[in-house]
Amino acid sequence: MNALMPHFIVERPGVLSLIQDAGRFGQTHLGLTQGGPADRFSFNWCHNLLGNAHTCSAIEVVIGGLKLISQSHTIGCVTGAETPVTVNGKATPMWHTFEINIGDVIEFGFATQGLRSYFSVCGGFDIAPEFGSCSTVVREKIGGLSGDALKQGDQLPVIVDTDNPMPQSEINAIAPEFIPRFESSVTLRVVLGYQHDWFSDLDIRRFFSSRYEISSQFDRMGYRLQGTKITANKTQMLSEGITLGAIQIPADGQPIILLNDRQTIGGYPKIGSVLSLDLDKLSQCKQGDYVHFEAISIEQAHNILHIDQHQQSLIQIVKKAYK
Amino acid sequence: MTKYSQQEQQNMNLVADFMQSIRVVPASESAIILYIDQPLTDTLAEQLQSIADGVLSLANTSEIEIVSSYASLLINYNPLKTDHFAIKQMLFQAIKSMFSDNSHTDYSQQTDQKLVELPVYYSDTTGPDLARIATHHKLSVEEVIQIHQQQTYRVFAIGFAPGFGYMGQVDPQIAMPRLATPRALVPKGAVAIADRQTAVYPAASPGGWNIIGQCPILMFNPNVEPSMPFKVGDSVRFKAIDQDTFFAMGGEQ
């Protein structure tokens, strides 16, 4: 890379920091999964505040610990899990754009509420797409820089918009009442589907009236839960396509909710799928947090999505002048 | 009353029979899944391919994504732009045109399926489970290798990992259940059997299939187009090669 090209240097990658854009679509015929931000709301609002398209890239910072040194003059923003973020040692608010100068040190502490935060800059990072996306899927060794999570010494080029070379002159912030709270107990709305008729009415009632705990096995592939066992009355099935949020019930009767980095096909019975909006909340949960399920119809799900789209259009961006 | 030609009547009957064998159910708020309840044959694979192509030609392809597998098609859509009723409608239309495109007996010609030959170095070192399969079926190792090469396999699905093709059906004479304890590391290129399926591991990974040989051809190469030697619906045959050829073709042990 040209030394003069604006970029960020990864001084410390933290627990797990991944380049993500909106996701990789149309590649399942090769067995490539979707990737993309686990908490889409926080990711999208990081870009909204920066004036970026949702197709731009950001860093998904899992738990925290990321430290970056800027070699560019730009505007940045952090959204998602409540995480102490400092610029040159001085705390900077989240859900709030801030100016970044050459030589600035941006440091993430560890999330106090939630699990994943998102950091991006004006225009996003300039990472070459693989199969239409720069989203990192570590298991597939695809996306990001050489298919891996960020490592110490990595250099992240920044896209420079030559038509608009100076960063915005105002700070953009989301009105505080619209900042999501990340709870350690979440209710997930579920559209019954797939093999739901392989489960008895009693087991379906058990499923929707039980509290499940998130086990130690939770990542971008899926969240394995522990709680009331439910059993499909058949086990033999042919592998089939798995959609985002599908709830798999393997032979041990413990649900697994499949997320962005799931395998594209699989052969376990599925009771249905979690509403996409609620996956944002789930992906901010960790081991020991609790999950409840609530059944909704597909028509209700569509209504909720349309209402959400409208509500998001009402979220106010507060503009403030720089001091 | 509308009069239908004999051909039209026949097509309608075919569609009606076919509709008896399918089920369409929701998979999520943004996906439906089509199941076809038929034996796993070449015809089924061709029908799935034809329906998938039909739906893609009716839909705005940037807003729909289809995951094809053994006997199902998962269709993901954008619920802010369309809904399950509209997608189901497209699905039924694709089924109807599959039978009416005056090629209902030979719709395989609509698609560009190909036959791919994959070289395999079968040996004790590259196929640590050959002897077990032979003993299990009271065959010689040579017979197991021979039978594996006799079949033309169909790629039923691609998944598990990039480039991993599920192929079938393996001759029951050499079918073998998965290992009770999966191996921590299956080498890249391993040719393996699980029940009546066979596959080539595209990269080193954990795995529970029975390994019978190794293929020097890359199953997934992100830097070339196409990235895979085959796609769903294609036919595959395996051909034995010796050690020298294996290394000459770039094989690594």
Strands (E), B43-200: 64-68, 72-77, 115-120, 153-158, 165-168, 183-186, 190-194, 197-200
Nearest-CA neighbor of A29 among B40, B228, B91, B221?
B228
For B240, the token pair is: 């034995």
> Scanning the structure block, which residue is given the tokens 């394995």?
A224
Give pLDDT tens digits for B109-136.
445 678 999 999 999 999 999 999 999 9
Cross-chain Cβ contact A241/B33 below 8 Å = yes
Measured CA to CA in angstroms, residue B210 lies from B155, B177, B179 at distances of 18, 8, 7
CA-to-CA distance for A19 and A151, rounded, in angstroms?
A: 11
Residues of B in contact with A275 (CB under 8 A): 29
Helix (H), strand (E) at residue B46 = helix B42-58
* H helix runs in B59-119, sequence order: 84-100
Identify the three-state secondary structure at position B143. helix
What pLDDT does B7 receive?
Answer: 84
Nearest-CA neighbor of B233 among B153, B152, B155, B169?
B155
> A51: how many CB neighbours lie within 10 A of its CB?
18
pLDDT band at B108 (very low <50, low <70, confident <90, very high): very low
Count helices and strands in chain B by DSSP H and E runs: 6, 13
Nearest-CA neighbor of A64 among A40, A87, A42, A82?
A82
What pLDDT does B111 receive?
Answer: 55
Length of chain B equals 253
Chain centroid to CA B89: 26
Domain ranges, ordered by start, for chain A: 7-174, 185-311
CA-to-CA distance for B130 and B126, rounded, in angstroms?
A: 9
Inter-residue long-range contacts of B124-129, CB under 8 Å, 24+ positions, other chains counted: B125/B253, B126/B190, B126/B211, B126/B213, B126/B214, B126/B246, B126/B253, B127/B191, B127/B211, B127/B212, B127/B213, B127/B214, B128/B211, B129/B176, B129/B179, B129/B192, B129/B193, B129/B210, B129/B211, B129/B212
Strands A256-258 and A222-226: antiparallel
Measured CA to CA in angstroms, residue A295 lies from A243, A273, B119, B188 at distances of 18, 10, 51, 43
What pLDDT does B104 receive?
Answer: 46
Helix (H), strand (E) at residue B64 = strand B64-68
Mean pLDDT in each 10-residue stretch from start to end of chain A (323 residues)?
78 98 94 97 97 96 98 95 98 96 97 98 96 96 96 93 63 93 96 97 98 97 96 88 96 95 92 98 98 98 97 90 68
Residues of B in contact with A300 (CB under 8 A): none
Measured CA to CA in angstroms, residue A121 lies from A50, A152, A161, B48, B102 at distances of 7, 20, 12, 44, 56
Any idea of the CA torsion for A133, A135, A137, A141, to the nearest 10 degrees? 60
For A266, the token pair is: 């699989």
Cross-chain Cβ contact A305/B80 below 8 Å = yes
What pLDDT does A319 receive?
Answer: 87
- Is residue A150 within 8 Å of A57, Cβ to Cβ? no
Ordered structural domains, chain B, with CATH: 6-110 (3.30.1360.40), 115-248 (2.40.100.10)
- Is residue A309 within 8 Å of A168, Cβ to Cβ? no
CA-to-CA distance for A318 and A170, rounded, in angstroms?
A: 10
Contacts with A, B 88-147, CB within 8 Å: none
Report domain A185-311's class: mainly beta
> B60: how many CB neighbours lie within 10 A of its CB?
11
CA-to-CA distance for B72 and B27, rounded, in angstroms?
A: 12
> Scanning the structure block, which residue is given the tokens 């002048």?
A321
CA-to-CA distance for A32 and B160, rounded, in angstroms?
A: 9
Chain centroid to CA A193: 24
Residues of B in contact with A31 (CB under 8 A): 158-164, 220
pTM above 0.80, yes or no: yes
DSSP string, A29-44: GGT------SSHHHHH
CA-to-CA distance for A256 and B6, rounded, in angstroms?
A: 52
Contacts with B, A 49-108, CB within 8 Å: none
Cβ-proximal residues to B239 (8 Å cutoff; 6+ apart), any chain: B117, B118, B119, B120, B149
Whether B26 contacts chain A with CB within 8 A: yes
Mutate to test the interface with B, among A33, A133, A264, A270 (most CBs of B within 10 A): A264
Name residue A56's amino acid.
Answer: C
Residue B10 distance to chain A (closest CA, Å): 32
Mean pLDDT of chain B: 91
- Phi/psi at A278 (nearest 5 deg)? -75, -15
Residue of A nearest to B40 (CA): A238
Interface pTM, i.e. ipTM: 0.93
- Is residue B124 within 8 Å of B130, Cβ to Cβ? yes
Give B215's Cβ-side CA count (13 Å radius): 25
Mean pLDDT confidence for B72-86 = 95
User: How much of chain B, in percent, has pLDDT values that exceed 90?
Assistant: 74
For B5, the token pair is: 């030609």
What pLDDT does A161 receive?
Answer: 67
How many interchain CB pairs under 8 A, A with B?
127
Mean pLDDT confidence for B217-232 = 94
CA-to-CA distance for B36 and A25, rounded, in angstroms?
A: 25
Sign of torsion over alpha carbons A277, A283, A289, A290: positive
Crossing angle of helices B84-100 and B42-58, in 10° steps, is 120
Cross-chain Cβ contact A241/B69 below 8 Å = yes
Cross-chain Cβ contact A131/B222 below 8 Å = yes
Strands B235-240 and B115-120: parallel
* H helix runs in chain A, sequence order: 40-50, 201-209, 276-282, 298-313
Nearest-CA neighbor of A207 among A185, A184, A190, A224?
A190
